[in-house]
Amino acid sequence: MERTFEGALRYRWVIFVVLALQYLFVYFHRVCPAVVAQDLVETFSISATSLGILASGYFYPYALMQIPVGLLADSWGSRKTVTFFTLLAAVGALMFGLAPGFETATIARIIVGLGLSGVFVPAMKTLAEWFRPGEYAKISGALMAVGGIGWLSASTPLALVTRSFGWRTGFIAIGVITVVLSVLTWLFLVDTPKKKGYPEINVRPIPTGVQKKIGLWTGIRLVFSTPRFWPLAIWFFCNGSILFSFNGLWAGPYLKDIYGLSKPAIGNILSMVAIGMVVGSPLLGYLSDNILKSRKKVLVACSLITVIEWAFFYFFYQSLSVPLLYVFFFVIGVCIGASVIIAFTGTKELFPLEIAGTSVSCVNLFGFVGGIIYQPLIGYFMDMAGKIDGRYLPQGYSTAFLLLFVTSIVYLLSALCVKDELKEQ
């Protein structure tokens, strides 16, 4: 039976659903330790420092694997890459649920991070093959929105499951679900329409002087030697520095220490980041593709709003009203969490489609490097200021917020230096 172009347009939604379900668990595992933190402390009899080591085990392999995963996505293919790595993540989740002690749990957390590092970059590359450039920001925004749902599922729903069945049962169930998703990925994910027998959807001419087949290391050299890549790399570094250090670690203590909020109230405020991502990701994609027809304008607007917000955080960090905190955390979800999809799209458009995975993985690396550097750096500021009655002093938060305010200014300056590559399709 002849495969038609219309058939390709229908089948690509199967591709999206499979990848979106996998990406949901990427965000789930990224933030889930916050909900089960006390359970882990009690189960393994560990200190807060050890808990931090256990939780951060996810990020180091995830960051280190960004470029290798991009190379695998471009050479080995997305179907093989996502299937293999998510099976690895499933093993890690099962190990975590069955871990007899702290050391095993930490190793399991590292395996989970290693496994889930193989989802996002291949997903971005595959979507670039199945969707036209003018659709890419919207569909990538939808993928990011599903990630936001994963963030939400790691808050109240996970808390309810662990309270009813125990945290171990919850993670064992996640491991089993991940195995099922890996099988579905192998059965239904196809790297390109051509491999499924369909006509190509996204035919993009290769720039003059660039060969059709681009070697692995040639692709890396091409990415890092392109001047237009570096404003986006700096933007990603600032983005990850703010998002992972504040919302990934210190926002909760800030709301407890400065405002004296309860855990449920803190959870409700933090969930606004996920809601902002769910709402903002498709919205920013639509604005970029259809209204503004620009990646740069969206990035500059989001970065400018971020600067204004962090000015408020720095100058009024002890006197913000609770309703305003809800608004600010929602804005973080939109302008920092959701805007990354526009920057990923802008990065992809700088380079030939054959190295889409490599280019996205290279820029993604900078965001995680920012988080890895800023999390302990802000912790150092907190330790220097000291504690009273188990609470970090306001001076520590003031110093940390000054750093994040300055970082937001660099965030804006880098966005202003981005070059638009969006063309009318």
* Residue 2 in domain: yes
pLDDT number for residue 210: 46
Selected residue with higher pLDDT from 291 and 34: 291
* Residue 406 in domain: yes
pLDDT level of residue 214 (50, 70, 90 thresholds): low
pLDDT level of residue 421 (50, 70, 90 thresholds): low
Q: What percent of the chain has pLDDT over 90?
A: 35
Across 67-71, 96-100, 236-240, least confident range: 67-71
* Residue 370 in domain: yes
The reply to whether 266 and 395 lie within a common domain is yes
The reply to whether 263 and 372 lie within a common domain is yes
The reply to whether 7 and 118 lie within a common domain is yes
CB 284 within 8 A of CB 294: no
- pLDDT at position 79 over 50: yes
pLDDT number for residue 35: 67
Selected residue with higher pLDDT from 425 and 318: 318
What is the Cα–Cα distance from 241 to 408, expressed in whole angstroms?
Answer: 10
45 vs 42, 103, 107, 158, 162, CA distance in Å? Answer: 5, 12, 17, 22, 18
pLDDT level of residue 314 (50, 70, 90 thresholds): very high
The reply to whether 161 and 267 lie within a common domain is no
The reply to whether 326 and 187 lie within a common domain is no
What are the tens digits of pLDDT across the range 244-257? 888 777 887 888 88
pLDDT number for residue 49: 65
The reply to whether 280 and 178 lie within a common domain is no
The reply to whether 253 and 166 lie within a common domain is no
* Residue 347 in domain: yes
pLDDT number for residue 17: 93
pLDDT number for residue 209: 47
pLDDT averaged over the chain? Answer: 84
The reply to whether 87 and 22 lie within a common domain is yes
pLDDT number for residue 425: 42
What are the tens digits of pLDDT across the range 177-189? 999 999 999 999 9
Q: Which residues are bridge partners to 177 per DSSP?
A: none
The reply to whether 228 and 186 lie within a common domain is no
- pLDDT at position 127 over 70: yes
* Residue 156 domain boundaries: 1-131+151-191
Across 3-12, 46-55, 244-253, 327-336, least confident range: 46-55
Q: What is the CATH number of the domain that holds 254?
A: 1.20.1250.20
* Residue 400 in domain: yes
- pLDDT at position 2 over 70: no
- pLDDT at position 206 over 70: no
pLDDT number for residue 200: 76
Number of domains into which the chain is organized: 2
What are the tens digits of pLDDT across the range 33-43? 766 766 787 89
Across 175-179, 282-286, 412-416, least confident range: 282-286
Across 46-50, 170-174, 186-190, 415-419, least confident range: 46-50
pLDDT level of residue 47 (50, 70, 90 thresholds): low
* Residue 315 in domain: yes
The reply to whether 156 and 276 lie within a common domain is no
- pLDDT at position 139 over 70: yes
pLDDT number for residue 150: 87
What is the Cα–Cα distance from 25 to 32, expressed in whole angstroms?
Answer: 10
- pLDDT at position 212 over 60: no
The reply to whether 275 and 369 lie within a common domain is yes
Q: Which residues are bridge partners to 392 per DSSP?
A: 387
Across 24-38, 135-149, 290-304, least confident range: 24-38
pLDDT number for residue 143: 87
Which distant-in-sequence residues (6+ apart) come within 8 Å of 130 by Cβ?
8, 12, 15, 16, 192, 193, 201, 202
* Residue 411 in domain: yes
243 vs 75, 187, 234, 235, 297, CA distance in Å? Answer: 31, 35, 14, 12, 21
* Residue 142 in domain: no
Q: Which residues are bridge partners to 391 per DSSP?
A: 388
The reply to whether 162 and 260 lie within a common domain is no
